[in-house]
Amino acid sequence: MTLTATTPPAARAASRLETPWWRDAVVYQVYIRSFADGDGDGTGDLAGLRARLPHLASLGVDAVWINPWYPSPMADSGYDVADYRAVEPLFGDLEQASAMIAEAHQLGLRVILDVVPNHLSDEHAWFQAALASAPGSHERSRFVFRDGRGAAGELPPNDWTSHFGGPAWTRVVEAVGDEAHPAGEPGQWYLHLFNTKQPDVDWTSEEVREEYDDVLRFWFDRGVDGFRIDVAHGLTKHADLPDVGEREFPHQPFGAGDHPFLDRDDVHEVYRRWRALADSYDEPRVFVAEAWTGDPARLGMYLRPDELHTAFNFDFLVSAWREPELRTVIDGTLAAHDAVGAPPTWVLSNHDVYREVSRYAREQDRPQLRNEGDFAGRPADLAVGLRRARAAALLMLALPGGAYVYQGAELGLPEVEDLPEESLQDPVWFQSGGEHRGRDGCRVPLPWSGRTAPFGFSDRADGAAPTGEPWLPQPASFAGMTAADQDGDPTSTLELYRSALSLRRSLEALGDGSMAWVDSGEGARDGVLAFTREPGFACWVNLSEQPVALPAGAEVLLASGALGGGDGAAALLPTDTAVWLRR
Ligand code: NOJ
């Protein structure tokens, strides 16, 4: 069965018509390579996305965020951009991009793209020019080129390491050279905080700043509503490039704005400039920051009124499925965002992290649930994981602010943990020397229909057979989990998301605003997250091992799983279940 029905968006609660859309938007993340493949070559593309836009409209989200779709050698799945003003031919072209933006708008969906300003591809014209120029040249000033340490400059300029593993510096063989750097010999080093094919640009260069202004304008002028900012906390570097020194977590900001390359205080100048640019449009454009600060107050600094609009709240994502931790994260998040007048943005997963079903399938005994190393090899109960993920979705969508839904979360997909090694493509796998499998397990192409691979992923508009295999193999276990399987099944995760998103639009209490915890006198107890929102709404989530009685007389609007009790008794909320109530 193909999903073609476009249900009109549920009426938006009257009081929320006044709220700027981005303050409480639910944004669906399209990892374009794996969303839908319209030309049948095994790689997701714009044709596929356009064909499946009705799925997103019927899901009830407000916007889509599309991962980088620019020309790229794909050394980091598109986060190595070779040209910011074009579309990767595997995905389509500019004309199709414009058509997609227009079609999304017609369906009431806003469009957010991904800007990658910390680094670009080594195949970008600027970097090619830098390689073909001498040390000290203008062409090199756009990047961070330095002489090495050691008698012959044979050691990297400092001790920084790549986020993907290994050194953050690569030495070039000089093409032109000068007296100190003979042509044809190893010469200067360039900085790359990620892959060697992703040279960092130098944000002290006004030319760099102007270039990214222009890139933003290029897409804003084509109707794009906003940008997600890649590594927003990473652009600026300490002028002296000092060593990080011996640290357990060298890639975690120090929390005081003085880390040599992360979450530095001087990065905020960039965002003040970008905000002014976004505000210069009649319909102001918006930003969401990918900023891993590890500290709600530091995150809040990106959201001051003259900076960015929103930022992903990763503290929520990395929290264990435990009541005290989640309560602390929620309180800390709300306080930090209130302090700057910004709405929080909740997120459970994305293309960089283990899918929530598989995270929550493990014993919840550790706080940092992010990297595959935290999970692989540990016993998993996927039924428990799915139950918790469904409850977490209702929790997330009931909290004040906006939310992001990563493609496949609405199908309750687990991480694909057994991808054959020969299929792995993430640079993390290669740079860690095979120690970490990387992020491919959450990037497997979506299952749309059918009982076997490619599960409708490569359905072509002309009905012809696909010509290529999905770029990552889909597991046989996707059978029964496709969008078509779940469509119309009231017990499915897809229908749970649809109901929640439709209710969220119609209930005045949800979206932007505030909440109040229900205290123990009102029946909440340890292991239970219960809060109210006005007017007349409550969300209860049971993370304890015992069922909990819901308030007598409360009307159940939506539950993430079957409730107990009945026959006149107060309904019982089972373990790992969430419920929305009308009070
Ligand atoms: C964050 C992106 O989400 C991730 O996929 C990418 O590898 C790095 N930034 C580098 O661009």
Q: What would the DSSP string read from start to end of 267-292? A: GHHHHHHHHHHHHTSSS--EEEE---
Within 13 Å, how many C-alpha atoms sit on residue 448's CB side?
26
- Which residue has better confidence, 305 or 524? 305
Domains along the chain? 14-117+203-486 (3.20.20.80), 125-191 (3.90.400.10), 515-582 (2.60.40.1180)
Q: What is the spatial distance between Cα 318 and Cα 366, in angstroms, rounded to a whole number?
A: 10
Q: How confident is the model at residue 538, as a pLDDT? A: 97
Residue closest via CA to ligand 1's atom 5 equals 352
- Choose the residue to mutate in 84, 352, 425, 430 for probing ligand 1, maximizing ligand atoms within 8 Å of C-beta: 352
Helix 46-59 with 94-106: angle, nearest 10 deg: 10
* Distance from residue 314's CA to the centre of ligand 1 (Å): 14
Residue 579's region, left for phi above 0, alpha for psi from -120 to 50, else beta, is: beta
Q: Quick one: CA dihedral 69, 122, 192, 262, positive or negative?
A: negative
* Model pLDDT for residues 255-273, shown as the tens digit of each residue: 777 899 999 999 999 999 9
Q: Which atom of ligand 1 is nearest to the CA of 118?
A: 11
Report the pLDDT averaged over residues 303-323.
96
- Choose the residue to mutate in 79, 119, 200, 443 for probing ligand 1, maximizing ligand atoms within 8 Å of C-beta: 79
CB 76 less than 6 A from any atom of ligand 1:
yes
Q: How confident is the model at residue 246 (pLDDT cuts 50, 70, 90)?
A: confident
- Say if residues 451 and 479 touch (Cβ distance below 8 Å): yes
- Say if residues 34 and 69 touch (Cβ distance below 8 Å): no
Q: What is the spatial distance between Cα 81 and Cα 119, in angstroms, rounded to a whole number?
A: 8
Which tokens sit at 451?
């009982």
Q: Which atom of ligand 1 is nearest to the CA of 164?
A: 7
- Helices (H) and strands (E) counted in the chain, each on its own, are 14, 19
* Distance from residue 231's CA to the centre of ligand 1 (Å): 7
Length of the chain in residues, anyone? 583
Q: How confident is the model at residue 8 (pLDDT cuts 50, 70, 90)?
A: very low
* Model pLDDT for residues 320-377, shown as the tens digit of each residue: 999 999 999 999 999 999 999 999 999 999 999 999 999 999 999 876 655 667 788 8
In 10 A of CB 459, how many CB atoms? 21
Residue closest via CA to ligand 1's atom 6 equals 79
Q: Which atom of ligand 1 is nearest to the CA of 119?
A: 11
In order, the DSSP letters of 179-229 are: SSS-TTSEEEEEE-SS-TTSPBB-TT-HHHHHHHHHHHHHHHTTT--EEEE
- Choose the residue to mutate in 196, 230, 262 for probing ligand 1, maximizing ligand atoms within 8 Å of C-beta: 230
Residue that is written with structure tokens 């009945």 in the block: 566
Report the pLDDT averaged over residues 522-550.
94
- Choose the residue to mutate in 74, 84, 191, 194 for probing ligand 1, maximizing ligand atoms within 8 Å of C-beta: 194
- Say if residues 228 and 142 touch (Cβ distance below 8 Å): no
* Distance from residue 163's CA to the centre of ligand 1 (Å): 10
237 vs 126, 201, 301, CA distance in Å? 20, 10, 18
Q: What is the spatial distance between Cα 24 and Cα 339, in angstroms, rounded to a whole number?
A: 17
**Bridging pattern class, strands 310-311 and 226-229:** unpaired
What is the spatial order of strands in the sheet that 555-559 belongs to? 516-517, 528-533, 537-542, 577-582, 555-559
Q: What is the spatial distance between Cα 261 and Cα 264, in angstroms, rounded to a whole number?
A: 7
Residue closest via CA to ligand 1's atom 3 equals 352
Q: How confident is the model at residue 379 (pLDDT cuts 50, 70, 90)?
A: very high
* Distance from residue 352's CA to the centre of ligand 1 (Å): 7
Q: How confident is the model at residue 459, as a pLDDT? A: 96
* Distance from residue 230's CA to the centre of ligand 1 (Å): 6
* Distance from residue 300's CA to the centre of ligand 1 (Å): 21
Mean pLDDT of the residues in the chain: 94
* Distance from residue 68's CA to the centre of ligand 1 (Å): 10
Res 494 pLDDT > 60:
yes
SS3 572: strand
Q: How confident is the model at residue 4, as a pLDDT? A: 32
Q: How confident is the model at residue 553, as a pLDDT? A: 85
Identify the weakest region by mean pLDDT among 208-222, 384-398, 431-445. 431-445
Q: What is the spatial distance between Cα 512 and Cα 507, in angstroms, rounded to a whole number?
A: 11
CB 79 less than 6 A from any atom of ligand 1:
yes
Query: 109-121: b or e for each residue (b if 16 or more CB lie within 10 Å)?
Result: bbbbbbbbbbbbb
- Choose the residue to mutate in 231, 428, 442, 443 for probing ligand 1, maximizing ligand atoms within 8 Å of C-beta: 231
Within 13 Å, how many C-alpha atoms sit on residue 445's CB side?
30
Residue closest via CA to ligand 1's atom 11 equals 79
Identify the weakest region by mean pLDDT among 105-119, 246-260, 263-277. 246-260
pLDDT cut 70: percent of the chain above it? 95
In 10 A of CB 217, how many CB atoms? 14
Q: How confident is the model at residue 114, as a pLDDT? A: 98
Identify the weakest region by mean pLDDT among 122-131, 353-362, 373-382, 483-492. 373-382
Q: Is the peptide bond before 535 cis (omega within 30 degrees of 0)?
A: yes
Which tokens sit at 499?
């109901």
- Say if residues 492 and 486 touch (Cβ distance below 8 Å): yes
Q: What is the spatial distance between Cα 32 and Cα 94, in angstroms, rounded to a whole number?
A: 15
Structure pTM?
A: 0.96
Q: What is the spatial distance between Cα 342 and Cα 191, in angstroms, rounded to a whole number?
A: 34
Q: Partners of 516 in the beta sheet?
A: 532
* Distance from residue 395's CA to the centre of ligand 1 (Å): 27
* Distance from residue 139's CA to the centre of ligand 1 (Å): 25
Residue that is written with structure tokens 């935290």 in the block: 374
Question: How wide is the angle at C-alpha 117 spanned by C-alphas 116 and 120, nearest 5°?
Answer: 75
126 vs 136, 139, 178, 183, 457, CA distance in Å? 15, 7, 20, 20, 36
Question: How wide is the angle at C-alpha 448 spanned by C-alphas 442 and 452, nearest 5°?
Answer: 90
* Distance from residue 80's CA to the centre of ligand 1 (Å): 9
- φ/ψ (deg, to 5) at 78: 100, -15
Q: What is the spatial distance between Cα 103 and Cα 330, in angstroms, rounded to a whole number?
A: 36
SS3 402: strand
CB 352 less than 6 A from any atom of ligand 1:
yes
- Which residue has better confidence, 239 or 248? 239
CB 230 less than 6 A from any atom of ligand 1:
yes
Q: How confident is the model at residue 568 (pLDDT cuts 50, 70, 90)?
A: low
- Which residue has better confidence, 11 or 408? 408
* Distance from residue 10's CA to the centre of ligand 1 (Å): 34
* Distance from residue 79's CA to the centre of ligand 1 (Å): 6
Q: Which atom of ligand 1 is nearest to the CA of 350?
A: 3
Res 185 pLDDT > 90:
yes
144 vs 190, 238, 241, 285, CA distance in Å? 6, 11, 10, 30
SS3 63: strand
Q: Quick one: CA dihedral 31, 36, 41, 47, positive or negative?
A: negative
* Distance from residue 406's CA to the centre of ligand 1 (Å): 15
CB 116 less than 6 A from any atom of ligand 1:
yes
* Distance from residue 194's CA to the centre of ligand 1 (Å): 8
Q: Partners of 110 in the beta sheet?
A: 63
Q: How confident is the model at residue 366, as a pLDDT? A: 75
Report the pLDDT averaged over residues 55-72.
98
- Say if residues 116 and 124 touch (Cβ distance below 8 Å): no
Q: How confident is the model at residue 1 (pLDDT cuts 50, 70, 90)?
A: very low
Picking from 384, 358, 386, 388, the residue whose alpha carbon sits closest to that of residue 370 is 358
Q: Which atom of ligand 1 is nearest to the CA of 194?
A: 10
SS3 356: helix
* Distance from residue 393's CA to the centre of ligand 1 (Å): 24
Q: What is the largest CA-CA distance in the chain?
A: 90
Which tokens sit at 402?
């906006």
Q: How confident is the model at residue 500 (pLDDT cuts 50, 70, 90)?
A: very high
Q: How confident is the model at residue 371, as a pLDDT? A: 65
